[in-house]
Every structure is written in structure tokens, then in C-alpha cells.
A and B are shown apart, each in its own frame.
Chain A
């Protein structure tokens, strides 16, 4: 492994080592993506002593000592502590660039000289503990890493120094550090992925639904980033936020505010604004060598499963169950809901935290959903297990045999997020079929049936029904009744069964009674008598679904 280092330009290598840049960051700065990276000693002082004979041989003792003295001098003057002595005492233990993130053994202040075996590192065990505690079952995973913005600033500061010192030798040229070095996150993933794969017997997959998040934080962040407040132009955004908050909150919360910023927009903000400072001016803003570190980054972990989707169609045989829980002034309307009856069962199967219910449209509480059923999609949040299709089918069967249960499910299966669009489209565009029991103020005649069934693609104008006008805007919507057909109800003279197929979004009850003439034409106006709707059922939602 040491060979990699022996092939690097000796002067900057020695310089970096003596300044306390960890071996992994050194390789990053030389743009080396080496798969053996995991197995090298990270600590710069250890590595320096191992490499010293080689460095002496290549560049001569005199030049090496010169570099060492210069570095010592800078660091001593900086720390105002004139106790030069051996390099191992002045050389920082924590990498000045990655703040210890790539020195996996530094976590929890556990330090081992031998950190070549990353599998035993506290980072790996910490992450594994989190995953075990949450109890997810998975065969692939993805890492989501969040690092302090400070690491970008320090990378930039180091790059500025290297550029000024070595660009004449053809090294570290170019203004944009991000394009020249291996990103910290990439190196960290590199270190963690293989050991985790082996330990968890799962494969790393950027598209995996199982996400393991690592949050790195550093206490120096807010203090060291404060220089950004003073910058003008593109940096004013952060400055404004910082200042306006400073004015009316206590000092303690300012730190917290900045820490919050660190995880979100400010990270990309810092990355964007750093190139706006010319390389040779950067040290005016941020000191070189950078401030001494007393502690490495702290790390917290979290793991979760991305939303999973289960689709199917539901039928509702009750006129007392709504699609979603319906609360009016904390009082429940209806005895249960389709959403809860299906959702709670599926939730248990996935051992999930929660679910959201989406359906292709909805029917009123007093309307049954019959026929081929209405497509729905359950969005399952943070599932611990992903059941097999046969397990889903079992749940479907168990839902359907509950005695006295008014909700049935068909075709329960795993679905992709793309089904969402299919369903939204179904809600807005697909035809719906209904069966309505209609009463007329006079006996029903064959002429009525002929009249209604002769109307094809009937255009109607529907003003927002009074019953929903409190929450929807007042509009006149054109709608189409594609066809109607009528059946006698044996034993009744003034009632008949009206089958009709309409465009999505048509209010059927209003089409029958007219809603004070606000839906026109309507059954009342078409048959020239009073008409009322006794009951309504949805008998078909005409769409292909999963």
C-alpha cells in the first residue's frame, strides 16, 4: 500500500503529512481513487515515520528538514506555543481537512494506531447498531452522507495553499478545487461500502429503498464559517439570514440556527460561493494554517425505508363508511373508513411507521362502490419488511373474509410510483358508471326511458353544487353524460333504475335533482317533472390499473 505514496511527488507529500492531512485526504488531493485506500494507515504522523526513509532518499534530509521546520514554525506561531520538539507532538492527530471523517477510528475518541481494518471501526459498529435497532429487513442499501460545510472551506483553504506553493512545479493547478480532487463523500462511501456489504450480507445500490443516513457535525463549524457573513455579493444571502437572526435571538440559539443551516441550503451555498473568492485572496478571509481542532466530527445515524406503494381496487358495500376518516368538530362521521380498514392491515404486514391512502376519485359516504371497484394506492412509510406477493394476497383474503365487513379488496399488489400518475389521470379523465334509484313525481313511462336512452354524449353545465360550494370555487363546469339506460323496478311505479356513464368529475346527485336548477339540463328538466334521487351506487371506474 505504501507504494502508492512512494510514487507521489515527495515535497508536497511531506508537506501534507507534516501539516496533519490524513493519508486518505492526501490521496484525494492527488486525485487518486485507489481501491486499496481502505487498508492504509490514516494517521499522518504514523505514516510520516513509515515514509521518512523513502522521503529522505528521494529529496535528501536537508530539504525534508526544511519543510518540517517551516511547517513547525507556522504551527507554533499560530498556537503561540514554543515547544517545537518532535514532529509527532506538534502534528495534529485529527485530519485538518476532513475533520476526522475519513479517520474511521477517531469516532468516540477511540484511537488505535492500527486502523487498517475498517470493519472494526466505531463508525461501522455505530451504523450497524442503528440498523439492528430499527429492525429493517433488506438485501440492498444506500448511504446518504451529510458532512459539515466546514470541510469544503478547509479543502478550499488547503487547495489555495498548495496552489500558491506548488503550481509552479505543475501541481495543484486550477481554480476550482471541486473538479480536481476526489470528493470527501465519495472517499467515505469507498471506505464503508465493502465492509458494510460483508457485514450485512446486502449489496450497495444507490437506488435501494433502504436508506442509511450518516450526519457529521463539527462544533467549530459556526465559528469558522462566520467569515462568510462578511462577504459581499453572492454571499449576502447567508449574511442576511445570520444578521437578522442575530438581532432578535440570544447567542445560544444563533449557533443552533447555523447548525440547522449547515445541513440544508448552506452546504450548497458555501460550495457555490467559495469559487467567487480569488485563490490568492482566500487567506484574507480564512486563516492558513487553519485553526487547531480539539475534537473530530461527531456522527449520528438514522435509517429508513423510502415510500413503498401497494395498489389494488376496493369495493364498498356500506352507505355508512367514508373513503377517508371524516371528522367534523372532532366528531367522527361514519363508523369507519375504507382507508383505515385497508391501511391498518397492510401497515401491520409491512411493519411500517405509517401509510397514506390515495384513490382514483372518491364517492360520497352514502354511495356504495360496486362493480370492478375503485383503484387505490397505499403509500407506505418506513416499512421494516417487504412482504412477498403471496403475503399480500393473504392479507387481501383475510380482509375479504371478515364477517360483516363492508369493504372488500381486489388485486392487492406491489406497485411503482409511476402508478400514481396513472391514478391521477384516472381520477381526472376516465369514465365512471353509476346506478341511481330515481323517483319521479308521476308514474314512469316507456317514453321516459326512450327519451333518456336516446341521449348520447349529452353536454351538461354544472355549477359547483351548493353542498361543496363552501370549499370549492364557484364555476360552471361543462360535463358529458356519455349514455343513459333505464330499468323498471318491479313493484314500483314512480321509481326506476337509471344507469349512466359520465365524464370524471360529474356530480350525479345534482344531475338528477338539478341542484336548484344549477345543473342543467338535469333529469328534472329532461323529463319535465320533479325528480329525486333515492340512492346511488358507483358500478364502474373504467380504467386499467396495475
Chain B
């Protein structure tokens, strides 16, 4: 990447040349942020329920994005979510946010704790944490725009952000599949 060294030419000119990348160095498609900043993990048949597939995208800083894998039964073969409800358990998950730098008031949820209820026209499905940790945020967008789950489940349609302790993560990671294992397990094509 460091192809462009500061030259002795006039400053304006050199700045211009620095900013423009050489076209041949640009990849056809750059790695999306969700792929280059996170490691992808999957939990299949969560709580033993068939096709209850979820993802856990882990950032280098240890935070985990929790969401619905493309093969989750509400998305595959036909995406059919019409509503999301965070009013599960004793307290609404929306209210359960940790606050401040030190994450005061943090609720530690277990890996089998329920994050939300996803509704279709005739059924509902429970989405679980998959890792034990502090719940930092739930995606409130889903309440007003549940269809985000149908078409952008792996980005804007994420469900929650969790912060597991390193030791809890090490435990949880063993039970999760890598992207390659997930693809193989579900017999998907590579671009899934």
C-alpha cells in the first residue's frame, strides 16, 4: 500500500498524487467492513431447534454482533419476518442497556438467554445470545423496520451487541462453527 513516497515536488502536486490510488491496485471488490473487521462464527440449531441458525461476528476488540444466519428458518427458504419484539423476560431488552464507559448497570446474559422474539404471520421464534456476556445494545431499528431481517440480516439487520469476558468467549468459541464449517454443514455455495 505504501507505494507513494513523499516526493520533492511542490506540495500541492505531491498531495494530489498521493490521494489518487493506482487503479491496478484497487481490488475488483474490497472486503466489506463486516468481513475485514470481524471474525465470523455460527451457531446451528440453537437450543436443539432445527434450522434455528444464528451468527456471532466478533470484532478484534472482543465485542460480538449477534444476528440471524441466512439459513435461519425464518429467512430460508423464504424471508418471512413481519415483527420483532424485545419484550422478553422480566425486563425489555431495550431497557437493559449498559451505560457509560464502565458499562454500569450491565446485565450479564447467558448464552441461552432470549434476546428477542421474531414473528412471522403465524409463528414466532426466539433468538438467543449464543455467548455469555454483557448486553451493550439491541438493534431498536428492528422494532420499526423488521424487514431489515429479511434482506440485510448480516448488517443493518443485526440483533444485538454483546461484550463477553475473554474466558467466556474462549468457552463459547469452541461450541461455534467457523464460516467454512458453516458453509460445509449447510451445503451452501461459497458466496453465502
| Chain A residues close to B by CB (< 8 Å) | 315, 317-320, 368, 370-371, 406, 408, 435, 437, 439, 463, 466-474, 489-492, 494-495, 497, 509, 513-517, 530, 532-535, 537, 539
Contact = CB atoms under 8 A, between A and B. Distances in A.
A495 B1 CA distance: 16
Given A439-B30, A466-B65, 19 more contacts: A317-B2, A368-B18, A370-B18, A370-B19, A437-B21, A437-B26, A463-B137, A469-B61, A471-B101, A473-B100, A474-B97, A489-B26, A495-B21, A513-B33, A516-B156, A532-B32, A533-B33, A534-B30, A539-B15
Given A466-B63, A467-B59, A472 B33 contact: no
A532 B29 CA distance: 9
A40 B139 CA distance: 83
B26 A495 contact: yes
Contacts of B13: none
A514 B156 contact: yes
A319 B20 contact: no
12 contacts: A370-B19, A439-B29, A439-B30, A466-B65, A467-B61, A473-B99, A513-B32, A514-B155, A516-B155, A516-B158, A517-B155, A533-B33
B62 A319 contact: no
Nearest to B100: A473
Nearest to A510: B33
A175 to B, nearest CB: 51
Interface in B31-50: 31-34, 37
B136 interface: yes
A461 to B, nearest CB: 12
Give the one of B24, B31, B156 with max A CB within 10 A.
B156
Sort A-B residue pairs by CB-CB distance and give the 9 closest, nearest first: A491-B23, A517-B156, A513-B33, A470-B61, A473-B100, A492-B23, A435-B19, A532-B30, A473-B101
A534 B99 contact: no
B163 interface: yes
B101 A532 contact: no
A136 to B, nearest CB: 38
Contacts of A532: 30-33
Nearest to A372: B11
Contacts of A490: 20, 23
Nearest to B38: A466
Interface in B85-134: 97-101
A370 B15 contact: yes
Nearest to A470: B61
B2 A318 contact: yes
B141 interface: yes
Contacts of B98: 474
Contacts of A516: 34, 65, 139, 155-156, 158
Contacts of B141: 517
B163 A470 contact: yes
Given A439-B30, A474-B137, A516-B65, A489 B21 contact: yes
A492 B26 contact: yes
Contacts of A435: 19
Given A490-B23, A514-B156, A530-B32, A474 B15 contact: no
Contact of B21 (A320, A471, A513, A534): A534
B19 A537 contact: yes
B21 A535 contact: yes
Contacts of B167: none
Contacts of B101: 471-473
A522 to B, nearest CB: 10
A317 B5 contact: yes
A74 to B, nearest CB: 64
Nearest to B37: A467
B155 to A, nearest CB: 6
A497 B158 CA distance: 29
Nearest to B21: A437
A371 to B, nearest CB: 6
Interface string B49-63: 000000000011111
B74 interface: no
B176 interface: no
B161 interface: yes
A466 B161 contact: yes
B6 interface: yes
B137 A539 contact: no
A537 B155 CA distance: 25
Given A439-B30, A517-B156, A539-B19, A469 B136 contact: yes
Contacts of B23: 489-492, 495
B59 to A, nearest CB: 6
A491 B23 CA distance: 6
B2 to A, nearest CB: 6
Contacts of B24: 491
B62 A537 contact: no
Given A319-B1, A439-B29, A470 B62 contact: yes
Given A473-B101, A474-B97, A474-B136, A497 B33 contact: no
Given A472-B101, A513-B33, A533-B33, A489 B136 contact: no
Give the one of B19, B98, B148 with max A CB within 10 A.
B19
A170 to B, nearest CB: 66
A320 B6 CA distance: 15
Contacts of A494: 29
B147 to A, nearest CB: 13
B15 A469 contact: no
Nearest to A493: B23
A521 B130 CA distance: 30
A371 B18 CA distance: 10
A437 B1 CA distance: 13
A159 B30 CA distance: 84
Nearest to A491: B23
B156 A474 contact: no
B158 A469 contact: no
Contacts of B19: 370, 435, 497, 537, 539
Nearest to B1: A319
Interface string B130-157: 0000001101010000001000000110
Nearest to B158: A516
A435 B19 CA distance: 7
Nearest to B59: A466
Contacts of A513: 32-33
A394 to B, nearest CB: 19
B163 to A, nearest CB: 7
Contacts of B1: 319, 535
B35 to A, nearest CB: 10
